[in-house]
Amino acid sequence: MQMLNFKPSTAVLALLVAGPLLAPDAAHAADKVVIKLGTLAPEGSEWHNALVKIGQRWKTASEGNVELKIYPGGVAGDEGDMVRKIRIGQLHAATITGIGLGTIHRSTIALQIPMLIQSWEELDYIRTKLGPELEKELEAAGFVVNSWGDAGWVHFFSTKPGKTPDDFRPMKLFVWTGDPEAERVWRHSKFTPIALASTEVLPALQTGMVEAFQTAPLFALTSQWYKSAKNMVKINWAPLNGATIISKKQWEKIDPKYRAELLKISREEGETLKLAVRRMSDKAIDSMVERGLVVTVPDAATIELWRKTAELAYPEVRGKVVPEHYFDEVQRLAKEYRAGAKP
């Protein structure tokens, strides 16, 4: 559920995402499969670097027959744009958050229901148990999950100081465009959502069109959004879940003898990236503090206010934003984990 939580010229975008997949003069063109992958992650970020490494390892493992081309920093559009372009063949893959995944199948949004999952260990347990079922839903929709991941705990950032839900309710709060049900839930909870593409957030912050947003610290740092929103409430609103997905049609163009190894590489690098990002989250906050970010650490009473705000919206979320089965299953698995269950 989007209760959390980079644009070139048209000509350049057309060249990037609508060009021929294979060089016509390449002798081995008929055998080579090119995977064009989009992501919002900026060039040089941890996410981008991990994708570069995957591409290098894929090339070696496939004996040069699979090439991964990466379009970072939102050059291929917002997450909804990337999913749409995969469907029509202009892209083949994307590394996206639960928001983008939710445009494919709403079940995936269950992994980031606000204030429900309480720790990384709990998320890992739930995702391990529920992941295979989610992957089947995505595959039925035409997408193969190459790896799961996350980008850190979502916190609230704002252009003016705020601490409690009531402080944030009057602020113009960025929510992802294309998700009217989630926007409706925010309004139901008395917030003031402004639906935009993520590629439009930075100028919107600079002009005052948006006054607050929710995202993970590392993304706030690498996107530079925090420079226009110098206040942060360190509330663990939700884990920013995500995955690297690829068109099933394009995946099946790869010689079957390579696929298992390529998938293994993606999952290895995805796990390494996941752990690195979790370690770097606090370092990202420290880096932003050095550049003027003011962090508010809420006390137990304030955390409870945020929890009640989230839970009051659950009846609107269950069955409307997140399918009932998946909402209930995440709650069940969370209770199971807290009762002492092990992976």
Closest CA to 110 of 325, 337, 339, 342: 325
Q: What is the pLDDT of residue 23?
A: 41
Rounded Cα distance, 201 and 162, in Å: 19
pLDDT, one tens digit per residue, over 174-193 is 998 878 888 999 999 999 99
Q: What is the pLDDT of residue 343?
A: 65
159's tokens? 């252009």
Rounded Cα distance, 155 and 144, in Å: 30
Q: Residue ranges of the domains in the chain? A: 10-338
pLDDT, one tens digit per residue, over 239-272 is 999 999 999 999 999 999 999 999 999 999 999 9
Spell out the CATH class of 10-338.
Answer: alpha beta
Closest CA to 247 of 101, 135, 144: 144
Compute the mean pLDDT over every residue in the chain, rounded to the nearest whole number.
90
Decide if pLDDT at 29 tops 50: no
pLDDT, one tens digit per residue, over 34-64 is 999 999 988 988 899 999 999 999 999 999 9
pLDDT mean over 130-144? 97
Q: What is the pLDDT of residue 272?
A: 94
Report the predicted TM-score, pTM, of the whole model to 2 decimal places.
Answer: 0.84
